Amino acid sequence: MMKFTNILHSFILGFTNSTFHVVKFLGLATLLLLVVGASSSYFQNGTSSTPAAVPNNKEHEVIPTVPSTRPPGDPPVLAYWIYGSSGDSQRMVRLLKATYHPRNQYLLLLDASSSASERTDLALSIQADPLFNAFENVNVVGRSYGVNQMGGSGLAAMLHASALLLKITANWDWFIPLSAAYDYPLYTQDDILHGFTFLPRDLNFVHFSNNTPSPDDQDERVRQVVVDPSLYTGKSSPIFNAKGTRNAPNTFKILAGSPWVILSRSLIDFCVKGWDNFPRKLLMYMSNMPSPLEFYFQTLICNTPSFHNTTVDNDLRYVMSKNDTLSKIGEFPIVARPFENENEALLQEIDNKILNRSANGVVPGKWSLEHTTNNVTGNNGNKQRDGRRWGDINSVKASPRGVQLGLALSKLANEGIMRFDGCPRPSILLNR
């Protein structure tokens, strides 16, 4: 049986079936307060049906694990949050397989625009996959909630996902959100893990806006008040403008930039564990801002001295134009977006030429499955025959592109860390 995680007691609806994850969303302003009170209870699927049993052959396998403490030079562990909406489940599975590595952690979320049957089918397909079942590192949120990436519910969903990944295990190094509808990797996981191996584990990749708006525009988006019904209606809804405006804050400076980030576990800890009041104060303020994902982490880092020297002004994404081809995509970003339905040929080209991923398969790596008829030593120390064993998941084999990625990231870390020195930027930077 696939392992499914514990979850915050405040989100639980009961547990009739521990095979699925159920998350009840309670709203942006209370999210981090509830995270602090996490306790042991279980995810469930929100239905009364019991899924079909999946054969468990682990007694015939040698399942390698990631050590809880890793010496310098060991590859990191990445925590991926893959999210989508109605109709995205197949693309979500494809993205999962394109980014899969047994040492990583994965959390999948279909928002409330999807049906209960679509979410159940997704969970069943993950549970029934022998690879995911063996390594127990793919988790599915069952009962969902409304998400609008342009409103406060989008920021709440990201923080919620990061909190759940911490609840699953704290044995990871970076949090990477990906959209099933738009994002796709440009490197194999062996290459990406190699590229991140020699970086400081507290490094954050957050893009900041580079252009200063005119004084008349500086406070416009900060003073604007919007309402995101997705926070309280239980379904994904458009945001709308509220009447009136509000004053810009005078106790902290607001910065803006890209909504796509790669965040260290230390920054996620700071956001969700609540030993400092600023992250939740900022969260409540931004719950009524338009596009808070373009402000929250930039502002949090700017106004928190302990994170001033941990940030690279780069989100490691490649934003594609309509007629981009694979030859035009640079060597440096690790993810490209947006991929619409008409980009299927380009996605297939990335699978074939970069990822070496077969149809419906995962990207091969040094960890890949090996079949054996020889004696192998099981987890209990006994010799077993005709079993399955896996490659080494605690080391990676980088391609020449992966070696170049590692050199580029190391150079970026050495030369590109932002020195805020008290956040000496205009009070708001809106334009990307």
Tens-digit pLDDT profile for residues 330-363: 667 899 888 876 678 889 999 999 999 998 899 9
Q: List Cα–Cα distances, 287 to 32, 154, 159, 244, 270, in angstroms.
A: 13, 10, 13, 16, 18
Amino acid 234: pLDDT: 79
Which amino acid would we find at residue 83?
Y
Length of the chain: 432
Q: Flag residues of the chain having pLDDT under 50.
A: 1-56, 60, 211-216, 218, 371-387, 422, 424-432
Residue 421 lies in a domain: no
Chain-centroid distance, C-alpha 85: 15
Residue 374 lies in a domain: no
Distance (Å, whole) CA 425 – CA 210: 10
**Beta bridge partners of residue 226, listed in sequence order:** 241
Other Cβ atoms within 10 Å of 292 Cβ, number: 29
For the chain, the domain total comes to: 1
Distance (Å, whole) CA 401 – CA 329: 13
What are the backbone angles phi and psi of residue 335, rounded to the nearest 5°? Answer: -135, 140
User: Coil, strand or helix: which one is 15?
Assistant: coil
DSSP assignment of 129-142 equals -HHHHHH--EEEB-
Residue 427 lies in a domain: no
Amino acid 337: pLDDT: 87
152 membership: H or E segment, kind and range: helix 152-168
Q: What is the DSSP letter of 292?
A: G
Residue 4 lies in a domain: no
What are the backbone angles phi and psi of residue 390, rounded to the nearest 5°? Answer: -115, 160
List of residues 6+ apart from 163 with CB closer than 8 A: 8, 31, 35, 38, 272
Residue 187 lies in a domain: yes
Amino acid 325: pLDDT: 77
Residue 391 lies in a domain: no
Dig out the tokens for 332 from the structure: 């440096």
Residue 196 lies in a domain: yes
User: Coil, strand or helix: which one is 187?
Assistant: coil
List of residues 6+ apart from 141 with CB closer than 8 A: 21, 22, 23, 43, 107, 108, 109, 110, 119, 164
Q: What is the pTM of this model?
A: 0.82
Q: What is the DSSP letter of 184?
A: E
Amino acid 73: pLDDT: 83
**Domain carrying residue 405:** 9-48+73-212+249-359+397-416
Residue 192 lies in a domain: yes
Q: List Cα–Cα distances, 210 to 117, 198, 234, 247, 316, in angstroms.
A: 44, 28, 37, 24, 16
Amino acid 62: pLDDT: 67
212 membership: H or E segment, kind and range: none
34 membership: H or E segment, kind and range: helix 28-36
